[in-house]
Amino acid sequence: MGIKLPEELEIEVYRCFRCGYCRAQCPVFKVKQNESWGTRGRMILIRSLIEGDIDATSSVLDRLYCCSLCKACETSCPALVRASDVYERLRESLVEQKQATLDKHQKIAEKILAEGNPFGLPRAERPSSYKRKNPSSAEILYFVGCVPSYRRPSIVRSVEKILATAGVKYTTLGAQELCCGSVLMRTGQTRTAKKLAQQNVKNFKELGVKKIVTVCPGCYLTLKVDYPKLVEDFPFEVLHISNFINQLLQTGKLKLTKQVGLKVTYHDPCHIGRRFNIYEAPRNVLLSIPGLKLVEMPHNRENSQCCGAGGGVKAAFSDVASNIGVSRMEEAAQTKADLLVTSCPFCCLNLDDAGRQAQLLPVSDLTEIVAEAL
């Protein structure tokens, strides 16, 4: 029995006529240089899975899960195949119909269920990096996210400083905050993600907020696109921090006064870039920093190259994520920039690791450099 996909996504698979133009885009293919690890190969494999010609063996699963869902292939696809939607839904079907998932992804789900974060670190330690704010009049929830909370607390401190300086009344969930479920949505574990969504939304409603600001593009995508499908009622406006800071600057609520005499290059995170076309807001913010010079990498905006971490790749294929990260950092180094800035804690983490490994330039989140300019 073949795997079943919803009709509208099955058509996407059959529309691929194997022109191979995606070879020039897929970051995983560029590292592996093997058809089976690129978009065209995955489409051949999925078609064979649908038709029942092959089974979901571990080799097949590796190929289907080793994609960061960066959407780069979609920018060059003449048949307009929505590959990342196909992969996400296919992974869900694999989990539901074949119980086929990768051990490393399943372990993440277990950790999230146990401690509310993908690292399995104690739930109570989540707010250790920041003071919980909870004014009753707050309309805005700052959804902190797991990576800043546990892996890069300087992002949290920076956001707090920015919001306080601008006089934004906001609240946080503290130890009550749960993983948004992004990694689960990207790896087909929708049922578990739904549980998190229900609990998170219940908490949002109790706070009485209307807007939610996220720093992590993964949280942003999940809250903005997936939550309205996972829960019945989702009456919240979701904002990405880059847009939010840009608004604060434009309305004069935030002023960046301190000189930051650095030459920086900006890395577009896939989940806000190609997904939502958020390209200019983070650049406007950077250009508002006195003394800062912005230089572009050849691959920028819709042609940006993925950092390699997303879609469950860093968790299950750390070598691939690392190789892709190094190649992106090499591109950044060629601009002769002093610093790479991105607007995603997870990109930040992966590129920082890659940059250290290859002894290239340092990496900052947008919020960190903005806080420096205050």
- Strand 170-171's sheet: what is its strand order? 170-171, 140-143, 211-214, 237-240
CB of 23 to other proteins, least distance (A): 4
Which CB, 14 or 356, lies closer to other proteins?
14
Among 6, 17, 51, 259, binds other proteins (CB under 8 A): 17
Tell whether residue 41 is a contact of other proteins (CB under 8 A): yes
| Residue 18 in contact with other proteins, rule: CB under 8 A | yes
What's the length of the chain? 374
319 binds other proteins (CB under 8 A): no
- By CB under 8 A, tell whether 277 contacts other proteins: no
CA distance 197 to 200: 5
Distances from the Cα of 15 to the Cα of 60, 77, 93, 171, 348, angstroms: 21, 10, 20, 47, 35
Q: How far is the CB of 357 from other proteins (least distance, A)?
A: 21
61 vs 183 by CB, closer to other proteins: 61
Q: Which of 4, 6, 19, 164 binds other proteins (CB under 8 A)?
A: 19
Pick from 4, 14, 52, 357: which binds other proteins (CB under 8 A)?
A: 14
Count of residues engaged in binding other proteins, rule: CB under 8 A: 28
Residue linked to tokens 């300086």: 165
Of 4, 6, 34, 334, the one binding other proteins by CB under 8 A? 34
Which among 162, 346, 154, 369 has a CA at the least distance from the CA of 265? 369
CB count within 10 Å of CB 129 equals 18
Distance in angstroms (rounded) separating the CA atoms of residues 98 and 149: 34
Single out the segment in contact with other proteins by CB under 8 A; choices: 73-81, 121-129, 254-262, 264-272. 73-81
Residue 51 interacts with other proteins (CB under 8 A)?
no
- How many CB atoms sit inside 10 A of residue 226's CB? 22
Residue 40 touching other proteins (CB under 8 A): yes
Token reading at 159: 């956001």
Q: Any contact of residue 274 with other proteins (CB under 8 A)?
A: no
Question: In the complex with other proteins, which residue's Cβ is closer, 19 or 114?
Answer: 19
Instruction: Give the one residue of 15, 229, 253, 356 binding other proteins; rule: CB under 8 A.
Output: 15
The answer to whether the beta carbons of residues 338 and 263 sit under 8 Å apart is yes
Cβ proximity to other proteins: between 2 and 120 the closer is: 2
User: Following DSSP, what letter does each residue of 32-61 receive, concatenated?
Assistant: H--GGGSHHHHHHHHHHHHTTSS---HHHH
Give CA–CA dist 277/69, Å, rounded. Answer: 15
CB of 40 to other proteins, least distance (A): 8
3-state secondary structure 131-165: CCCCCCCCCEEEECCHHHHHHCHHHHHHHHHHHHH
CA distance 258 to 371: 10
At closest approach, how far in Å is the CB of 17 from other proteins?
A: 6
C-beta closer to other proteins: residue 20 or 120 = 20
79 touches other proteins by CB under 8 A: yes
Binding site for other proteins (CB under 8 A): 14-15, 17-24, 33-36, 40-41, 44-45, 48, 54, 57, 59-60, 63, 76, 78-80
